[in-house]
Chains A and B, each alone.
Chain A
């Protein structure tokens, strides 16, 4: 082995170690949660927008889904999404453990009045947990759920629309879905704005605006998602 390669190799491990240190640090971890969170927020927005096609036309809805799954980049996208999701969840869980350990003994009373904090921000981990479970169920219900087919212009296309109509006809599922999406909304309302703070952006002029936009964003996403089952249950007549 000549000297140069050893030097290069050493340099590589050193670079890794500083990045590793970053990822392991609480701030690095938290930033990862923030960045992945922002990525996932964009995903849910686009997902919601796609869902809204159901209000337009069942065919368009199905064709949109078809276009997505037949795109050759879909696997890459899915893998990216899974990576985002897992990084978000794993880092958040690890941080929650660190955070729990940091306060081994609880107080007899909670803070109150001017020093109280909002329940939403304090329970991000619980919301995350519920959303996590929901996402798994959601995948089983839809992505890996009953496969119906419909033929458009001679081409077989998955009839997701039928599945959606079927699923949301069940009041239990409808209610569960709405609750889950409301929780997602809460999660986003704090999460989106909070990610800016985590990633180092806080300004007395803009931060209050970001917080409002964050709430609006959450409202649009959750509202958009919830619109679909409500439409199916109450308005859509088959």
Chain B
């Protein structure tokens, strides 16, 4: 029983420090002593920061919020892996029992041109928001809706739509992709809305506008390495990207403008 067998380990941390988007940045080294293996990774970082503050040193900035794996705020790359070594896991849900005593742990920010570093491990992911603003919605003003059961949605479609909509917008897909491509993120939204009947009216326009915005933000292209899906804490599948490609190609060829 894990909850009862508390152990402690010592770790050598190499943590990225960077004052702002224009600063070059560098690694600092920190010894984390007696880390309980029941801690989450972020709790370990809390302790590191508390130590740093007590020593009068500037703590490490990192994004985090819900610590339940759903808000998508936490965003570090741990030993080369976004959200650390475990699949289907966000950094906040990663626990220290996954690490060995004496291990060196390298902690970096998500690196992508479209995600400039704000400070230390905090990056600016507003590019994702702008992509959604370009078309990641169904245009239905409040009050316009018909009865919720008026349009049946086959369970299979509803389940698939849910699987795509499970994306938490954390950006791990971009972080792990050698091309810093946002294809998995964008395609998950296009697929989600394309699977429900309510999303059909704007389907073509949505695909065109979102892809155009994605390209403008400076993300790379997909080269089908599958890294994104492997790193995705919500295990969004590559099927989404194929679906997006199909929708986008179709929509572009149909485009009358």
Contact = CB atoms under 8 A, between A and B. Distances in A.
B101 to A, nearest CB: 19
A102 B215 contact: no
Contact of B85 (A29, A30, A114): A114
A112 B81 contact: yes
A169 B212 CA distance: 53
A112 B219 CA distance: 23
Contacts of A95: 220-221, 223
Contacts of A18: 252, 255-257
Size bin of chain B's contact surface:
35 or more
B79 A102 contact: no
B181 interface: yes
B58 interface: no
B81 A22 contact: no
B211 A27 contact: yes
Contacts of B248: 25, 27-28
Interface string A171-209: 000000000000000000010001011111111100100
Interface in A54-79: none
Nearest to B186: A27
Contacts of A111: 80-82, 176, 227, 231
Given A122-B225, A201-B242, A202-B239, A103 B252 contact: no
A15 B87 CA distance: 45
Contacts of A113: 81, 85
Contacts of B245: 27, 30-31, 197-200
B111 interface: yes
Chain A interface size band reads 35 or more
Contact of A103 (B79, B112, B238): B112
Contact of B244 (A27, A28, A99): A27
B97 interface: no
Chain B at the A interface: SS class:
mixed
B196 to A, nearest CB: 19
A208 to B, nearest CB: 12
B167 interface: no
A98 B152 CA distance: 43
B150 interface: no
A190 B81 CA distance: 23
A14 interface: yes
B12 interface: no
A117 interface: yes
Interface in B5-38: 14, 27
Interface string B208-231: 000110110011111111110011
8 contacts: A21-B252, A30-B245, A101-B218, A102-B114, A102-B181, A103-B111, A108-B80, A111-B231
Q: Which 5 A-B pairs have the closest CB atoms?
A: A200-B246, A202-B242, A102-B220, A109-B80, A99-B179
Given A26-B214, A109-B79, 16 more contacts: A18-B256, A26-B222, A27-B221, A95-B220, A95-B221, A98-B221, A102-B113, A108-B106, A112-B80, A115-B227, A117-B178, A121-B225, A194-B224, A197-B224, A197-B241, A197-B242
Interface of A: 14, 17-19, 21-22, 25-31, 95, 98-118, 121-122, 124, 190, 194, 196-204, 207
